[in-house]
Amino acid sequence: MSRFVLVTAQPEFDERIRLAAAGLPGTLQAFRAGYLPSTIDDMFSHLVGEPLEVLVLGPDLPSTDVLNFAAAVDVRSPHVSVMYAANASPELALAAMRSGVRDLVTPEADVETLRVHLEQAAMAASYRLSSTAPATTVGSSDRPNQGRGRVITVMSPKGGVGKTTIATNIAVGLAKTSPLSVVIVDLDLQFGDVASGLMMKPESSIVEAVNGPMDSMSLKTYLVPHPTKLYALCAPLNPADADRVSAEQVSDLVARLAAEFQYVVIDTSPGLGEHVLAALDQATDVVWVCAMDLPSVRGLRSGLEILSELDMLPENRHVVVNMADRKSGITVQDIEATINIPVDVILARSKSLPLSTNRGVPALQDGLRSTTVKALLSLVERFKPTWQDRNHRQTHRRVVFQ
C-alpha cells in the first residue's frame, strides 16, 4: 500500500494533494507547516500507519531547506520518493537530483496531474524497496550489488545502424513513466553522439566520473539533466581521452549507477571492444541493432556467436531491425534465418527519425506520429515492469511494413 506524507502550509496545494491521493491505495498524513523540522527524526517519529513511501514537499518551503532535508532522507531511507512542488529551472533540477529529490512538479499542477506524479513516485519507491538487498557484495572491488536497476545495453557489431537514435529514444520513453529514474551513458568514448542527440552541452564527461570519487553524491555531479527528466553521462569531447577510461572502471561505474537509478541505458561503440564487453557483463538486457544489409546482418550473427561462446548473452535480448525497407533485397525472414533468433521490433525507414536526431530532439520527445514511432514505443514497453506479466504469445509476431 502506498503511503504519502505532505508538508505544506499552503491550503490550496494541500487540498489538491489530498484529492489526488484520495483515489490511491494507502493513507495521506499531512503536516500543516511552512517549514521543515531540524532533523528527519523529528518527522519520522510522528509518522503513523503504513511505512512511508512518498514525501511531498509544498511550494511554500524554502528550496535550500528542501534540498538539505531530501539529502538526509536519501541517506536514511533511500527508497522514499521525495516530490517537490517548484518551478524547475535547469539549476534547480540538477541540484534536486544531486540532493535526492526524485520528482519535481509545478505548483499549479491540477489534481489529475498530481495523481499521476504520486502514482509514479509510489511505484518507484516500491521498486527501490524491493531491491534493498545488501548494497555491496564481498569481493576485491566491493562494487555495488548488480541487478538493482535495469541495465539496457544497446549495441551492434557494425556502425551506422542507428544505435544512438534508438538508445536516446528508449531513455526518453522510459523517463515519461519513470521521471528522474533514468540515466543514459554514452560509451562510444571516441565519437559518442548522445550529447548532440539530446542537444546537450556537458561540462563534464564519463572521464571525470570514473577518475573521481565513486560515491553516490559525487557521481551525480557529472550527470547532465534533460528536459524529459532523464540524466545523461556523456562521452569525452576529446577522442584521445578514451584511453583514460578502463574496462574495469566502466564495469564499476555501471554497477553503481544501477544502484541509484531504475534504468541505465548504455549507448555503445560499434564492435565488441573491452568497454562494450564490460557494459554487457553488467547488462540485464541487450538491444541488438542491425540494418537491412548483408554486412550488418552477418556482423550481428558473428557477434551473437562470439558472445554465446563466451557465455555473455544476457537473458533478456531484443533484436531491432532499423531502417527496414522492402526494396533492400532481403526480408525479415532472411535475417531471422541468418541469426537463428526472432526479430522483435522493426523500425521502417523513415525521414522523420534521422531528422529528429539531427535536431537534437528524439522522436518520442517530439510527439511525432508514425508507424516507426509506434514501433519505438513498443520497444520501450518491453522494459517496463508490467512487461514480464503480459501474455507473450505474440512477442515475436512478424511485422508487415510498407
| pLDDT tens digits along 352-386 | 787 887 888 998 988 777 888 899 999 999 987 65
In this structure, of 35-44, 105-114, 242-251, the range with the lowest mean pLDDT score is 35-44
Spatial separation of the C-alpha atoms in residues 267 and 186, rounded to whole Å: 5
In this structure, of 61-70, 235-244, 359-368, the range with the lowest mean pLDDT score is 359-368
Spatial separation of the C-alpha atoms in residues 367 and 278, rounded to whole Å: 34
pLDDT over 70, % of the chain: 90
Q: What pLDDT sits at residue 10?
A: 93
Q: Report CA torsion sign: 264, 228, 91, 4.
A: negative
Residue 35's alpha-carbon distances to 44, 215, 333, in angstroms, are: 15, 30, 63
Please give the grid coordinates belonging to residue 167.
Answer: 538508445
Q: Cβ distance 290 to 158 under 8 Å?
A: yes
Examine the pLDDT at 69 and tell me if it is beyond 90.
Answer: yes
Q: What pLDDT sits at residue 1?
A: 47
Q: What is the mean pLDDT of residues 125-137?
A: 59
| Among 186, 163, 169, CA closest to 250 | 186
Examine the pLDDT at 188 and tell me if it is beyond 70.
Answer: yes
| Among 91, 88, 265, CA closest to 103 | 88
N- to C-terminal Cα separation, the chain: 47
Examine the pLDDT at 157 and tell me if it is beyond 90.
Answer: no
Q: Say how many C-beta atoms besides its own lie within 10 A of residue 168's C-beta.
A: 32
Q: What is the dotted CATH code of the domain comprising 4-130?
A: 3.40.50.2300
Q: Cβ distance 197 to 226 under 8 Å?
A: no
Q: Give start-end residues of each CATH 3.40.50.2300 domain in the chain.
A: 4-130
Q: What pLDDT sits at residue 391?
A: 45
Residue 264's alpha-carbon distances to 63, 99, 147, 172, in angstroms, are: 28, 19, 11, 12
Domain 150-389 has CATH 3.30.70.270: no
Examine the pLDDT at 181 and tell me if it is beyond 90.
Answer: no
Examine the pLDDT at 91 and tell me if it is beyond 70.
Answer: yes
pTM: 0.68
Q: What is the mean pLDDT of the chain?
A: 84
pLDDT band at 77 (very low <50, low <70, confident <90, very high): confident
Examine the pLDDT at 398 and tell me if it is beyond 50.
Answer: no
Spatial separation of the C-alpha atoms in residues 189 and 185, rounded to whole Å: 10
Q: Which residue has the cell 560515491?
A: 215
pLDDT band at 2 (very low <50, low <70, confident <90, very high): low
Q: Give start-end residues of each CATH 3.40.50.300 domain in the chain.
A: 150-389
Examine the pLDDT at 213 and tell me if it is beyond 90.
Answer: no
Amino acid 337 reads: A
Q: Which of 6-10, 19-23, 326-330 is most confident?
A: 6-10
Spatial separation of the C-alpha atoms in residues 84 and 61, rounded to whole Å: 9
Q: What is the mean pLDDT of residues 48-57?
A: 86
Packed helices 371-381 and 352-359: angle between N→C axes, nearest 10 degrees: 70
